[in-house]
Chain A
């Protein structure tokens, strides 16, 4: 197992991420419209919304890939407009839509990112992560030869390399079979319990959201359509589950 260190003792309610009145405008298109939310330390926040709701734009701004038009993002106490690299060293990101170099082996890819994140004891760390994500037999295979599900697991292993205090995960179980999807969800729960990490999870898998997320932020047209715990949202809309809540909000005219 990895990440045996006790969770950092963050005061109750302290924020890992604070987003204040975030706006991103591309010419005439308002992709994110005065979005505000916080992610508390040790919590998992689900960022939900249909295609074009502004989730990817929001995650890109949280990662410093995209400069907001206005508003403020604070990650682990660092203002992302001024000190993003200090925050980036303490967080990580995984998305099945961004690849790792195909002509490098899985081990070489993890070594590259281990160096970029200045990971101590890299060899041991890679072996431990390979065990956690069932990659041991794949370590010396070229990344380009892997199946979509195997690539997703490698990307997750990469995102755990620096024992991040914040994980931003975009569809972390996309392309995984139900067994491996469940395995990864358990790995995320274990990691959070072991390290006290905070996780921002963008997912279209509502069962996954119900299982993992402490809070959910529903986005629509760049704005917050609703927020709450999965149970609160299900109760508020009088639905059976989050799948129905999602459909209700996505299809309703009102924001």
Chain B
């Protein structure tokens, strides 16, 4: 190996070493193409075979609504996890955790930041949707607030799960912050109905609030009906997942204090 090749290999080797020690980074390489294929494959199926008499125009409207509303989950989740990771990156967690700030207060602070970030993040997209596509997100009326709240809470419990993983695996798991919520997208039934999924995958989707929220949204946009049962199911599921998220967060925080992970989380 000549000098140049050796130097190039040195750089490649640096990345090989990193990937072989970090399964989240390795998994991420194949993750996105697979995910894109699943989402757009199911969406294409819906539009080509399963419109069930719905007008393609209305289905298109539901698609835009789905894109906008799914962003609430993504922005809410990223709002929490990114704010937490900012503390890791700035090596500030040590100061925070030796202050009188309780873990519950820290979580509430992160949730508040996520609400602000979600509002700021979605405002331009909502205006653009109105100006370019004549789609008014608020046209269905006050009931939309219930959809927003359900999606916000879903983003929060996903985020609590990710922060728990950061406690457990440290900053090496930060790729999860960008991938997990997107990974749920195929089973969230954002762009297509539950029926478009294979039978074996439908129970997984039904266990998530998102599938019920978007089924309810499509009922509202395509048929003008407010499906209260779907909204109620989503709310119950959100409550259950949120409780689970809080329990996992509490457990991982305690474990991190035992293992000394709060001191070394940025490493």
Contact = CB atoms under 8 A, between A and B. Distances in A.
A183 interface: no
Nearest to B91: A99
A99 B92 contact: yes
Given A67-B258, A101-B86, A116 B100 contact: yes
Contacts of B254: 67
Given A60-B263, A66-B262, A100 B95 contact: yes
Interface string A112-133: 0100111000000000000000
**Which 6 A-B pairs have CB atoms at the shortest separation, nearest pair first?**
A98-B94, A89-B100, A99-B91, A63-B98, A101-B90, A116-B99
B92 A101 contact: yes
A116 B262 CA distance: 18
Interface string A127-171: 000000000000000000000000000000010000000000000
B100 A85 contact: yes
The B interface is mostly helix, strand or loop, or mixed, namely helix
Q: Give the bracket for the number of chain A residues in contact with chain B.
A: 20 to 34
Contact of B257 (A66, A88, A92, A113): A66
A158 B92 CA distance: 12
Contacts of B260: 26, 57, 60, 65-66
Interface string B116-152: 0000000000000000000000000000000000000
Contacts of B86: 101
Nearest to A95: B94
Nearest to B96: A116
A85 B102 contact: yes
A66 B258 CA distance: 6
A98 B101 contact: no
Interface in A193-228: none
Given A60-B263, A65-B257, A67-B257, A100 B98 contact: no
A7 interface: no
A93 interface: yes
A98 B96 CA distance: 10
Contact of A100 (B92, B100, B258, B263): B92
A65 B98 contact: yes
Given A26-B260, A85-B102, A99-B90, A65 B97 contact: yes
Contacts of B101: 116
A125 to B, nearest CB: 15
A71 interface: no
A248 to B, nearest CB: 30
A65 B102 CA distance: 12
B141 to A, nearest CB: 39
A65 B262 contact: yes
A92 B142 CA distance: 48
A118 B100 contact: yes
A64 interface: yes
Given A65-B98, A101-B86, 14 more contacts: A60-B263, A66-B262, A67-B258, A88-B98, A93-B95, A93-B98, A98-B94, A101-B90, A113-B99, A116-B96, A116-B101, A117-B99, A118-B100, A158-B95
A27 to B, nearest CB: 10
A92 B98 CA distance: 8
Contacts of A65: 94, 97-98, 257, 260, 262-263
A255 interface: no
Nearest to A68: B258
A20 B259 CA distance: 21
Contact of A64 (B95, B98, B258): B98
A247 interface: no
B86 to A, nearest CB: 7
